[in-house]
């Protein structure tokens, strides 16, 4: 059984730097992918208190909802649709300071105001995405991108 997560206050960088070694320990020696994705979402949600944190996984021509923390969400997203589908299509991280200004944004919840979506790559091909949503505007930047990419690099697909 995992120990409790040690949560810190402080700036974003300190929070990520404290969290990442703990995520490493959680994943260490555990080959089950779903368990690991689930623990990553739980650790991020617990440290940052974001509204929604979760994975979507590429299945044929759609993203399908994977392990997440937060309210129920859209189950399937087509390639190129919304922020998640666009991140998949472009194989790029998208930072959206105001979701209402993103053409085609898919509102799983009207509470969500800003988001960051990062592709999860396997052999250079998008395997899925990590989507993080906040109920506040303008919550994500290059610091989140930098550290969330480090967390995604820990996943053995």
Q: Residue count at the site for ligand SME (CB under 6 A)?
A: 15
Residue 32: CB minimum distance to ligand SME, A:
23
Q: What are phi and psi of 88, to 5 degrees?
A: -60, -50
User: Nearest approach, Cβ of 14 to ligand SME (angstroms)?
Assistant: 27
Stretch that binds ligand SME, among 2-10, 24-32, 76-84, 146-154 (CB under 6 A): 76-84
Give the contacts of 1 (CB within 8 A, at least 6 positions apart).
none
Interface mask toward ligand SME for 77-116; x: CB under 6 A: x----xxxx-------------------xx-x---x--x-
Nearer to ligand SME, 21 or 49 (CB): 49
Distance CA 88, CA 11 (A): 30
CB neighbour burial string for 8-26, b if at least 16 within 10 angstroms, e if fewer: eeeeeeebbebbbebbeeb
Does 74 interact with ligand SME (rule: CB under 6 A)? yes
Which are the contacts of 112, defined by CB distance < 8 A and separation ≥ 6?
51, 52, 99, 133, 134, 135
Which of these segments, 20-28, 30-38, 72-80, 139-147, binds ligand SME (CB under 6 A)?
A: 72-80
Rg (CA), the chain: 15
Q: Rule CB under 6 A: which residues touch ligand SME?
A: 52, 73-74, 77, 82-85, 105-106, 108, 112, 115, 131, 133
């Amino acid at each position: 059984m995992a120990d409790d997560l040690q949560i810190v206050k402080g700036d974003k960088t300190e929070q990520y730097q404290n969290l990442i070694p703990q995520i490493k320990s959680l994943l260490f020696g555990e080959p089950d992918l779903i368990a690991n994705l689930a623990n990553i979402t739980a650790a991020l949600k617990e440290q940052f208190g974001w509204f929604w944190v979760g994975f979507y996984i590429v299945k044929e021509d759609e993203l399908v909802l994977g392990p997440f923390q937060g309210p129920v969400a859209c189950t399937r997203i087509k390639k190129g649709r919304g922020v998640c589908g666009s991140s998949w299509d472009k194989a790029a991280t998208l930072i959206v300071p105001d979701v209402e200004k993103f053409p085609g944004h898919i509102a799983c919840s009207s509470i969500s105001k800003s988001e960051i979506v990062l592709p999860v790559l396997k052999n250079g091909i998008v395997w899925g995405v990590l989507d993080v949503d906040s109920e506040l505007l303008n919550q994500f930047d290059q610091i989140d991108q930098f550290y969330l990419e480090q967390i995604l690099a820990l996943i053995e697909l």
